[in-house]
Structure formats: structure tokens, C-alpha cells
Amino acid sequence: MILIIRLDPQLHTPMYFFLTHLSFLDLSYSSVISPKTLQNLLTSTHNISFLGCFTQLYFFIICVAGECYLLSWMAYDRYVAICRPLHYPVIMSTRLCHALVIVSYAIGFADATVNVLFMSSLPFCKSNVIQHFFCDSPPILALSCSDTSVAEISIFICAGSNLVLSLITISGSYLSILSTILKINSTAGKKKAFSTCASHLLGVTIFYSTMIFAYLKPKTSYSLGRDQVASVFYSIVVPMLNPLIYSLRNKEVKKAVLRIMEKRAGSTQVK
């Protein structure tokens, strides 16, 4: 997705600018988790150092928090495109798009720093076995032999504020979009407007449903089986599905791929 968007000038728009960074974050946080997970599955070495564990958690939080806000900016972009099309070039300026992406990464770094500082300072004297396939917050907290309420509150506040703020932006944007679409008289116009949002809505639904299930609950309700299934979805399945969702259901991306292939074929024939 990153290469297609970079190579095709017609995709140099705000929506695809955000999609480039979404693809980068998907690639990043699946890379933070998948290699170590595969090593554990394929070899008899099932260990990770204390520093390695919290480094994995740190970069994972950065990517997940950043993705929350990128998905909300993409929803806002669709709102402006559908509800205020004449003002779209002015509102979604290059400066604003870059600022929104910087905010996404900055919040991710801030959340990761706060959570990892709180959690790494806890004493761990119960067991050294993490009941999970990567270093995530709930299974690490379960190993602490001290009061983890402060760490739990910080995680809840950070994760909750990220999810709530981004969901408010997404919900508000799509309610306005729905209101505008219902006012369109032509069936073709309604279908076109819905199709521009379908891919994003599908990605948002999968991502947020698993994130809310995994993080917005107390430690006492932690279940190894349920939480591992949820974790597989948001850490491995969602990053794998996003490129497919945004390419196979997107006519512009399909056309871009054809243009790139035709251009390459033409340059090969000239040579």
C-alpha cells in the first residue's frame, strides 16, 4: 500500500496520506510482535529479557495509540469530503494533515512512556512466566506481587481516553455523513458515498471491538483464552487485513495498480 500510494500521483491526497501512515503503523506493530512469537512457536527457546519485554510493550503501545487517532482522522477526512466538498482542499490542507499525523505519533509516545514507567517500576515476584504470546499490559500486571491499582488506572485512563476521543470523532463524522447521504436523491449517489466509507468502517469495527474488549476492563476479569484471541485479532489479523480491506474494496487503488503495471510494462518495451 505504501509503495502504490507513493508511486501513483493520483493517490497523493489526504485520505491516502493517512492510509500510508496507517500501513506503516500496521507494519510496525506486527513487526514488533510477530518475529518473537514465531521464534517461540518454532523453537524450544521461549524466553524474553526484562528489557526486551518492556521494549516490545513500549513500541506496541506507540503503534496502537497512533492507529486509534489515524483512524479517526480518516473518518474526519471522509466527513469533509462528503459533507463539505467545496471546502475540502482548504480544510484538509497539507499543513493540517501533517499536524494530525504528528499528533497521532506524539500521543502514542506519551502513552507508551507513562504506561511503561508505571509498569516497569512494579515488583515482580510471583512467576516469570507470561501467560500470553507477547508482552501486553494485562498479563504483565498479573505477575506483580504488589498493588497494581495505580498502573491499572494509568492504563485505563490512557487507553480509555484514546478510544473514547477517537470513537467520538469517528461517530460524529459518520453520523454527519449518514445525514448527508440520506439527503442525496439519486441511488447512484448514495451508493458511491457509502462505498467511499465501507472499507474504513470495516477496519474500524474490527480494530475497536477487540481493543475495547482487551483493555477497558479490570485485571480481575482477565481470561487467558479470551484475551489471547482478542490480541491475535488486533495485533496480527487487523494489520494483515487492512491492506486487503483498503485495496480490494477500493477502485482507486485497483486503478492505481493497473496504471503502475502499464507504466512499467511500457518502459520495459521501450528498453
Cβ neighbours around 258 below 10 Å, total: 11
Beta carbons within 8 Å of 142's beta carbon, 6+ residues apart = 126, 131, 219, 222
| Confidence class for position 266, pLDDT limits 50, 70, 90 | low
| Confidence class for position 271, pLDDT limits 50, 70, 90 | low
135 φ, ψ (degrees, to nearest 5): -80, 95
Q: What is the mean pLDDT of the chain?
A: 82
3-state secondary structure (DSSP) of residue 13: coil
Q: What is the pLDDT of residue 48?
A: 86
3-state secondary structure (DSSP) of residue 22: helix
| Confidence class for position 250, pLDDT limits 50, 70, 90 | low
CB of 60 closer than 8 Å to CB of 134: yes
13 φ, ψ (degrees, to nearest 5): -125, 165
Give yes or no for residue 56 having a pLDDT over 80: yes
124 φ, ψ (degrees, to nearest 5): -115, 105
Q: How far apart are CA 196 and CA 78, in angstroms?
A: 8
pLDDT in tens, 78-112: 899 888 889 999 999 999 999 999 999 999 999 99
Give yes or no for residue 249 having a pLDDT over 60: no
Mean pLDDT, range 58-87, rounded to an integer: 90
Q: What is the 3-state secondary structure (H, E, C) of 203-247?
A: HHHHHHHHHHHHHCCCHHHCCHHHHHHHHHHHHHHHHHHHHHHHH
Domains of the chain: 11-265 (1.20.1070.10)
12 φ, ψ (degrees, to nearest 5): -85, 70
Cβ neighbours around 194 below 10 Å, total: 15
Which segment of 35-44, 70-79, 107-116 scores lowest on mean pLDDT?
35-44
Q: Where are the alpha helices (DSSP H) in 43-132?
A: 50-83, 88-91, 94-120
pLDDT in tens, 8-28: 888 888 988 998 999 899 888
The grid coordinates listed for 79 are 466527513
Q: How far apart are CA 217 and CA 19, in angstroms?
A: 30
The grid coordinates listed for 244 are 486487503
Q: What letter would DSSP give residue 124?
A: B
pLDDT in tens, 226-246: 667 777 777 777 788 777 777
Q: How far apart are CA 160 and CA 215, in angstroms?
A: 8
Residue of higher predicted confidence among 269 and 189: 189
Q: How far apart are CA 247 and CA 257, in angstroms?
A: 9
CA angle 133, 138, 144 (to 5 degrees): 105
Q: What is the pLDDT of residue 24?
A: 92
Residue of higher predicted confidence among 267 and 131: 131
Query: CA 171: distance to chain centroid?
Result: 17
Mean pLDDT, range 49-56, rounded to an integer: 89
Q: How far apart are CA 159 and CA 39, in angstroms?
A: 29
